[in-house]
Structure 1
């Protein structure tokens, strides 16, 4: 796996692995259920990923959106492709919520709604909640 995937905690944060992509639970939760969708290649630009990776991207996004919808009924999803610090092709996947979501004994707010998400701010999630979140999302894959 490339350095970007490793930086985001692979394999501990893995939600699903595809031939060309991995979906990881984002270590810093911008909003509840934030993920990283990362291409497994060394590509440093979208134009450099393979045709098969582009085709598989459709399945990976359908799957992750379905898992988030089933788990939390998100209102929107923001896909952010920055690659300013981490050079390999990856998206920050930020589910967006117009209202609070309750999970694992806490209430979570999307403080930036309806403005763009602020990736420098994260919601407070305990280690137990992070593990429960990862287990829930894995269980909803394909739902």
Structure 2
């Protein structure tokens, strides 16, 4: 596995994926699933890896859900700082949660991700959709 995880953050090492808590717990229960083999593109995952990823996401969200009862989850392959394929599993909360004396709030619950928007008008959006559609494999 190319992504280096602090051993104290590892929840489980499975055959294809490692489950880990994120060091940044601004949203309590924030976790990651990291591919165990070196792979830098989500599209390079094998069908078996995709199937097992679904199983691992289900296990992880069930566990975090039973601990903190999030109102929803976000799932994102961000890979901005490390190209190794890893999926962020981010619980989202309408109200505060307290764990071991720490209070966690989700001040951006329900807000659109990425405030730095550049919105195109309807004809431009349609043209962009057409161009992408023409290049679909």
Both structures adopt the same fold (TM-score exceeding 0.5): yes
Q: Which of these residues, 94, 101, 104, is aligned with residue 98 of structure 1?
A: 94
Query: How far 1:107 sits from its partner (Å)?
Result: 2.0
Gaps of 5+ in 1: 119-143
Give the Cα–Cα distance (whole angstroms) in 1 for the partners of residues 65 and 40 of structure 2.
30
Query: How far 1:65 sits from its partner (Å)?
Result: 0.7
Equivalenced residues, count = 114
Contact 1:46-1:89 at 8 Å conserved across structures: yes
Q: Which of these residues, 53, 65, 69, is aligned with residue 69 of structure 1?
A: 65
- The two structures have a TM-score, normalised by structure 1, of 0.73
Say what the alpha-carbon RMSD is for the aligned residues. 1.6
Question: Does structure 1 residue 32 correspond to structure 2 residue 28?
Answer: yes
Question: Does structure 1 residue 54 correspond to structure 2 residue 50?
Answer: yes
User: Higher relative contact order at CA 8 Å, sep ≥6: structure 1 or structure 2?
Assistant: 1
Contact 2:26-2:104 at 8 Å conserved across structures: no
- The two structures have a TM-score, normalised by structure 2, of 0.76
Residue number in structure 2 paired with 1:115: 111
- In structure 2, relative to structure 1, the CA distance for the partners of 1:76 and 1:67 (3 Å cut) is same
Gaps of 5+ in 2: 115-137
Q: Which of these residues, 19, 37, 42, is aligned with residue 23 of structure 1?
A: 19
Q: Which runs of 4+ in 1 moved over 4 A?
A: none
Q: Deviations over 1:1-52 (max 9, x none)?
A: 21x2x1x42x221112211101111011130111111111111111111222
- In structure 2, relative to structure 1, the CA distance for the partners of 1:57 and 1:13 (3 Å cut) is same
Query: How far 1:116 sits from its partner (Å)?
Result: 4.9
